Chains A and B, each alone.
Chain A
C-alpha cells in the first residue's frame, strides 16, 4: 500500500519588480541582486535597475506630468488621501516587510503609522499651498502684479537607506502634492517597501507615470538621476555629503534645482511635515496685469 505523506506547503516568494508608468516591469538589463535577512536566509531577488530603466521612466514621467499638473488641486488632494487609505489597509504587510529587513517590530509599526499620517498631512496641503504662497506685489506702475507657484516638472528622488518606507513617502508626497511627476531610486539595502508601495500607488487612482520607482545601485544610478537633461529638479535624501556634492555638480549642467533634506534618513514623521518641501519643487510665475491709474 502506498502512503502519501502530507508535505509542508511550498514557500511562495514574492517577485519584487520595478514600478514604471503604472506597470511592474522587470529591469531591461535582466540583472538582480539577492536580499538576505540577518541570518543569511534569502528574502527576495530585487531588480538591479539600469540607466535605460531610468530613461524609460523619465519618458513616461514627462508624459504623465502634463495631465497630473492640470488636475485640480482638490482632486490631487483626494488622490493623496486615497494613497493613505490604501496604505492603512495594507499596514500589516508593510510592518512585516520592514521587520524581515531588520527593523525592530515596534519601530516598524510606528514607521508605517507615521507614513500614513504624513500622506494625510500633505493631502490637506494640496489645495492650500498655492493660496498661502502666492502674493500680490507692490509695484510703482499701473499694473496689478501678482506671483503664484507652479510645479517645476519631473523630479528625480534619491530615497534614504534608513526610513525605507517613511523617508520614501516623505519625499514623494510633497513632490506629487505640488503637481510634479517623479522617478525614485529606493533604498538599496531595504528596497522591499518601495516596491510594495508601488502597488499601493497603483490602486489609489494615481495616474500611471506620475510616480515611478526603481531599485538598484545608488552609486551606479546617481549620475543618471542628476545629469538627465529632462530632470527639472533632484531631491536628495540619503544624507551623504560626497553624493550631494556630485549631484550638485551634475545639476549645474542645465541648472536643475537641487533640494536635500537631512530629516529623511533619521528624522521622525513629525519632522518631515513641512510645506516648504512642496515649495522646493515649484516655480514662481509673476504676472503683470495692466490696470488704470
Chain B
C-alpha cells in the first residue's frame, strides 16, 4: 500500500476544541466510583527503570493482583508491563491471577537497532511467557518518509509475537504533528497491531488527550473499513484520576461502549494507580486522602 502524509488531514483546532468539551463532563458519586474501578481494571501497571530489580517487579505484581487491601471489590489491573529480562519473575509472581504480563521489546525505548536484534528481543520475551509485546516504531525512518520500512518492521515483529498481542508504540512526542500521528496509526494497524500506544513514557510530552483523540479516530475509521477492533493505550504522564476519567469519556464518545473494556483500552501508568485508589477511598469516606496510607511505588 502506498502511504501518503496528506491522506487524512487533521483539523488541529477542531481536535483541541473537541477535547476541551470532553473535559467539561462532570462525573460524580456512583458513576465516578464505577469509572474509577473500570480505570483500575484497565491499568498496565508499569515499571521500566534502569534500576528495576526482581524485588521491585514482585512488588508491583502483588499490587497488580490486589491493588489495595483497604477495600473490598477493587478489581485487579489488566497487566504488568516490564522489560524482557523481568518477564519470568513477573509471570511467576502473577501465577494464575489472570493479570497479563506485557513486555516492552525491540530496543525499547529508542528502537535504534537492527531488525535481527529486535526480533530476537521479541522472541525472547514471548518465550519467557509474555502475553503482550509493546514494540516501538523506528521514528527516525518514519520521519524520513520511509513508511514501507516502518510497515515491514511492524509486520515482522507481529510474526515474531506468535500468539502474543502486539502493542505498537508510536512515541507521539517525537512525531511532531497530528498528521504524522494519524499516518503512523494507520500504518501500525495495517501491519497487524492489536493495540496502538502513544508513548514510551521516556519522552515529554507523553500521552495527551488531543493525540489520543487523533489515534481513536484512526481506530474508528479502521473499524469502519475492516470491521476489526483495535485497542488503544495512552501511556506516560497520566497521573490523576480526573485525567483518567477524561480519557474514558473520550473513548466512549468516540468509539462507543464496546471499547470501554480492558480488552480494548489500557492506561500505561504507575503513579495513576494510587491516585485512583485515593479517590475511591475519598468517595467511600468523604475525606481527602494522603499518600502516607498507600503503597510506595
Residues of A participating in the B interface, judged by any CB pair closer than 8 Å: 55, 58, 62, 224, 227-230, 253-254
Contact = CB atoms under 8 A, between A and B. Distances in A.
Interface residues of B, number: 8
Nearest to A58: B288
Interface stretch (B53-61, B71-79, B289-297): B289-297
Specify the main secondary structure of chain B where it touches its partner: loop
A254 B287 CA distance: 11
Contacts of A254: 290, 293
A224 B289 CA distance: 11
B27 to A, nearest CB: 15
Contacts, number: 24
Contacts of B293: 229, 254
B228 to A, nearest CB: 42
Contacts of B286: 227
Given A230-B290, A230-B292, 17 more contacts: A55-B288, A58-B288, A62-B291, A224-B288, A227-B286, A227-B287, A227-B288, A228-B290, A229-B287, A229-B288, A229-B290, A229-B292, A229-B293, A230-B291, A253-B287, A254-B290, A254-B293
Contacts of B291: 62, 230
B179 to A, nearest CB: 36
A228 B289 CA distance: 6
Nearest to B289: A229
Specify the main secondary structure of chain A where it touches its partner: helix
A253 B286 CA distance: 12
A283 to B, nearest CB: 13
22 contacts: A55-B288, A58-B288, A62-B291, A224-B288, A227-B286, A227-B287, A227-B288, A228-B288, A228-B290, A229-B287, A229-B288, A229-B289, A229-B290, A229-B292, A229-B293, A230-B288, A230-B289, A230-B290, A230-B291, A253-B287, A254-B290, A254-B293
Nearest to A227: B287
B77 to A, nearest CB: 24
A58 B288 CA distance: 10
Contacts of A230: 288-292
A224 B288 CA distance: 8
Interface string B256-297: 000000000000000000000000000000111111110000
Contacts of A228: 287-288, 290
Interface in B204-245: none
Contacts of A58: 288
Question: Of A55, A224, A229, which is in contact with the most chain B CB atoms at under 10 Å from its CB?
Answer: A229
Contacts of B289: 229-230
A126 B13 CA distance: 53
A230 B288 CA distance: 8
A279 B270 CA distance: 37
Contacts of A224: 288
A185 to B, nearest CB: 15
A229 B292 CA distance: 9
Nearest to B293: A229
A266 to B, nearest CB: 32
Interface string B102-120: 0000000000000000000
Listed from nearest, the 5 A-B pairs whose CB atoms lie closest are A230-B290, A229-B290, A228-B288, A227-B287, A229-B289
Nearest to A55: B288
Nearest to A224: B288
A228 B293 CA distance: 12
Question: Of B286, B287, B289, which is in contact with the most chain A CB atoms at under 10 Å from its CB?
Answer: B287
Contacts of A62: 291
A227 B293 CA distance: 14
A293 to B, nearest CB: 37
A267 B34 CA distance: 52
A273 B113 CA distance: 67
Nearest to B278: A229
A288 B151 CA distance: 63
A60 to B, nearest CB: 14
Contacts of A253: 287
Nearest to A250: B287
B277 to A, nearest CB: 13
Contacts of A229: 287-290, 292-293
A224 B282 CA distance: 12
Nearest to B288: A228
A6 B288 CA distance: 57
Contacts of B292: 229-230
A227 B290 CA distance: 11
A248 B287 CA distance: 16
A228 B287 CA distance: 6
Contacts of B290: 228-230, 254
A228 B286 CA distance: 9
A227 B286 CA distance: 9
A230 B289 CA distance: 6
A31 to B, nearest CB: 18
Nearest to A54: B288
A228 B290 CA distance: 8
B284 to A, nearest CB: 12
A230 B290 CA distance: 4
A2 to B, nearest CB: 48
A228 B288 CA distance: 5
A55 B278 CA distance: 13
B262 to A, nearest CB: 29
Contacts of A227: 286-288
A62 B290 CA distance: 10
